[in-house]
Structure 1
């Protein structure tokens, strides 16, 4: 067609380069090219083109509005003179369809593919060009999909890049935390489970049998990077497979110390060493305190903070009330001991002891009275070393219970008899009565182990027949409660063993911890 215009119509050369650029642009953009029928007379076509091209202004205006019109028959104000003929189309099912009343041009679908022009788009799922009901014209639904091509990186918005970066960072941080809480054997952290352990089920609801001396080590858990200050089994018998440990590495952990011996969860809500941690009576919360003067009540499953408050002093001991689950006693590096209510996060009572530090707190049966051990030691006697308090009136009942010049870092209550034992730094344990005036039993003294300034704890077996304690040498000593003699010793650790506790349900199952951060289970 171009050569016809070149020789027959000299005005063809007046076409501007802009029109040619429009023509090249639109022919490349459309996937189907227009093939004109040469059945029309050259005169009619030429007159139409000449009439349209004779006015440059009109041509430029038409070019801006619809560039393809320059190469279609007829102008803006010219009626189309082409003939109408039937065109054969092929629908999506492969049937041949004859379309009448359409212009005399055919759609060529194989000359150019949009995927050649836009290689970064995917036109594989593009809608069919023709409908299956015999109609030749149908609006094409363009569903572009970005596909990855080697050597071409698609554009990603800044907002999506930031979200992706944050997600990758959070995932990496969580993976590092899980790895840090795994055991040395490579066992990953488990989920906190409230299911009853298969080892505990046979003993639930039955009377506790006599305790035997454990001899074999079952598990060794060594994931604390600092000394372990305290360990405690969960008080709920059905969940007593969980063991709580508080450490100087600013964390406290919950372990499955019966089934697998691996860490269930690590809690890092303190900025300094965690001196003590205590299970709640329901077994779903953990109360912790440390040298950052923070008191935190943590949900065991979620790790969220139910109660958190800044204390006035560094915390060294915490105890829940035996009958009031929302009240606890807090003591530490202060001359006062405070009672808190977690429902309103306030101090409800203050007990002024006129000492420098409270080492331990022990509630007596029924919770009407409690004892505190302090570091108050005079030259000739240990005045205010053990103080008895009335819980409701905050009155001091007695401060002349223990008269020797040793501090008592730990107190424990006998499970069946009205008696309690105080661990002393004189390398022995003293026996007292829980009835006023809390007299000491001078005929019984549990001695033979060494304490040497460590906060070594002591505890009775569930049947009350054995008294177990750690030592600064790393050994565990078992005393007969009635005779006060050493029944057996266990070489459990190489460093100071600061805590040893019997399982509340399983007979003869013992947990110990030492000053290097190791926790061991014995049976």
Structure 2
């Protein structure tokens, strides 16, 4: 014990003056030093909402030269070498060039510069049997399409305007009798061939369908696209419902038939029957029924070539209307009688009753023109007394409906004439188109 007391109780020379020796903590840490810092507490990073899609993305600022004496990593050196702006340069990047689109407005839609006799006929609203003359003389030849033209349609509310759909991906709107520029609009909204085109019955709106699997609605006055109706098939034919201009029917390459509402942009009804390509469709006058013509070569069952559909019940009323081994590229209701016709690839036009059981008239048909696999269409005159048909020889054939007698023909093109359309107001005017890319109007 004496040894321990001597060891711990001994004082050094430095504290011989009686000053107590400093403690261990005092020797290690000076008395004025702050306490050691605490470990920082982890806190979650606050959530920042994503940048809205409408806000344009800003380009990252160019990389600047590293500060003198600072270590530059290998990755940073590679980024500096790949920088589009030289280091130290203050010249900004040139702004991106916006894509240019051709304006669809080419000419005028007004009727102020058309022929006086045509303007008088349009404003007097001639009806039905007010003229017994057939269209015989070439009135206008319209040339602007670069490939074949598939269909033409007169504007019901603006009778001096004609629309055409072409294989060159365009829709042309013609101011037919304009004494200056006859091309009013050139619409290039489709990305593939345009197969069909239809005017809205009461408004200057134009609907077109094509091989880009879409139907497109355009405001003709402004030349702007309003709506796009996408499908899973190429659109072959479109028709507005005559009793409701907000509804249209489309038929396509996969055999689907769909009713669309242009107000919602959605398909309201679809008709299924495992059909082939839809060749043509036609509404009844009251809009409660429609006829579909179908390519049946894949199924080898000709009984489905023409089907009468009930729209409300969404069921076929008859699918055994035409049982011959030919497809029919065109079907048309008579404007006043309870009958309809079908253009047959057997080189004739057949007549059917429009009432159940929809029987084929085996004693009357319209013959003399050629079809031979072309999508040849036909059209009734305003009075329903005459029937006009295109032909594979490039001519328009005219028939008397009551007697089925051939009246005469006129040459429209050197190649196949595939579509004819009577004017909705002037009785002796007809438009036609075909594989030459030309549109002709006769009167």
Q: Sort the TM-score into its range (normalised by shorter chain).
A: 0.7 to 0.9
Q: CA deviation at 1:202?
A: 4.1
Q: Compute the TM-score of the two structures, normalised by the length of structure 1.
A: 0.63
Residues 127 and 382 in structure 2, CA contact (< 8 A), matched pair in contact too: no
Residues 285 and 299 in structure 1, CA contact (< 8 A), matched pair in contact too: yes
| In structure 1, distance between residues paired with 2:301 and 2:400 | 29
2:68 alignment partner in structure 1:
none
SS in 2 for 1:326: strand
Distance of aligned partners of 1:425 and 1:270 in 2 relative to their CA distance in 1, 3 Å threshold? same
Residues 337 and 353 in structure 1, CA contact (< 8 A), matched pair in contact too: no
Q: CA deviation at 1:268?
A: 0.5
SS in 1 for 2:245: coil
1:212 alignment partner in structure 2:
133
SS in 1 for 2:366: strand
Q: CA deviation at 1:392?
A: 1.3
Q: Does 1:258 align with 2:198?
A: no
SS in 2 for 1:401: coil
Q: Does 1:303 align with 2:223?
A: yes
1:192 alignment partner in structure 2:
109
- 5 Å-filtered alignment, 1:486-497, equals 486-497=406-417
Distance of aligned partners of 1:292 and 1:343 in 2 relative to their CA distance in 1, 3 Å threshold? same
- Which of 202, 206, 229 is the equivalent residue of 2:150? 229
- Which of 429, 434, 437 is the equivalent residue of 1:514? 434
Tell me which structure has the larger Cα radius of gyration: 1
| In structure 2, distance between residues paired with 1:391 and 1:194 | 38
Distance of aligned partners of 1:347 and 1:380 in 2 relative to their CA distance in 1, 3 Å threshold? closer
| In structure 2, distance between residues paired with 1:395 and 1:265 | 40
1:428 alignment partner in structure 2:
348
| In structure 2, distance between residues paired with 1:242 and 1:283 | 13
2:312 alignment partner in structure 1:
392
Residues 200 and 505 in structure 1, CA contact (< 8 A), matched pair in contact too: no
| In structure 1, distance between residues paired with 2:203 and 2:107 | 18
Residues 415 and 434 in structure 2, CA contact (< 8 A), matched pair in contact too: yes
Q: CA deviation at 1:243?
A: 0.5
Q: Which has the higher contact order (CA 8 A, sep 6+)?
A: 2
| In structure 2, distance between residues paired with 1:358 and 1:467 | 23
Residues 256 and 263 in structure 1, CA contact (< 8 A), matched pair in contact too: yes
- 5 Å-filtered alignment, 1:311-390, equals 311-377=231-297, 382-390=302-310
| In structure 2, distance between residues paired with 1:220 and 1:202 | 20
- 5 Å-filtered alignment, 1:120-269, equals 174=102, 189-193=106-110, 198=116, 199-202=118-121, 204-208=124-128, 209-236=130-157, 239-260=158-179, 262-269=182-189
Gaps of 5+ in 2: 1-90
| In structure 1, distance between residues paired with 2:347 and 2:331 | 14
Q: CA deviation at 1:454?
A: 0.7
Aligned structure 1 segments of 4 or more residues deviating by more than 3 angstroms = 194-198, 200-203, 205-208, 377-381
CA RMSD of aligned residues (A): 2.4
Residues 377 and 405 in structure 1, CA contact (< 8 A), matched pair in contact too: no
Q: CA deviation at 1:438?
A: 1.3
Residues 248 and 275 in structure 1, CA contact (< 8 A), matched pair in contact too: yes
Distance of aligned partners of 1:242 and 1:410 in 2 relative to their CA distance in 1, 3 Å threshold? same
SS in 1 for 2:202: coil
| In structure 2, distance between residues paired with 1:450 and 1:348 | 38
| In structure 2, distance between residues paired with 1:356 and 1:506 | 37
Q: CA deviation at 1:369?
A: 0.8
Distance of aligned partners of 1:440 and 1:258 in 2 relative to their CA distance in 1, 3 Å threshold? farther
Distance of aligned partners of 1:392 and 1:257 in 2 relative to their CA distance in 1, 3 Å threshold? same
Residues 211 and 465 in structure 1, CA contact (< 8 A), matched pair in contact too: no
Q: CA deviation at 1:439?
A: 1.3
Distance of aligned partners of 1:246 and 1:302 in 2 relative to their CA distance in 1, 3 Å threshold? same
| In structure 1, distance between residues paired with 2:264 and 2:394 | 43
Q: Does 1:294 align with 2:211?
A: no
- 5 Å-filtered alignment, 1:385-464, equals 385-464=305-384
Q: CA deviation at 1:360?
A: 0.7
| In structure 2, distance between residues paired with 1:479 and 1:438 | 23
Distance of aligned partners of 1:494 and 1:432 in 2 relative to their CA distance in 1, 3 Å threshold? same
- Higher percent of residues as helix: 1
Gaps of 5+ in 1: 1-157, 179-188
| In structure 2, distance between residues paired with 1:401 and 1:413 | 14
| In structure 1, distance between residues paired with 2:333 and 2:316 | 20
| Residues 161-194 of structure 1, C-alpha deviations (whole Å, 9 max, x = no match) | 979x87xx95xx648x77xxxxxxxxxx422227
Q: Compute the TM-score of the two structures, normalised by the length of structure 2.
A: 0.74
Distance of aligned partners of 1:259 and 1:413 in 2 relative to their CA distance in 1, 3 Å threshold? farther
| In structure 1, distance between residues paired with 2:183 and 2:266 | 33
| In structure 2, distance between residues paired with 1:249 and 1:227 | 7
| In structure 1, distance between residues paired with 2:126 and 2:436 | 37
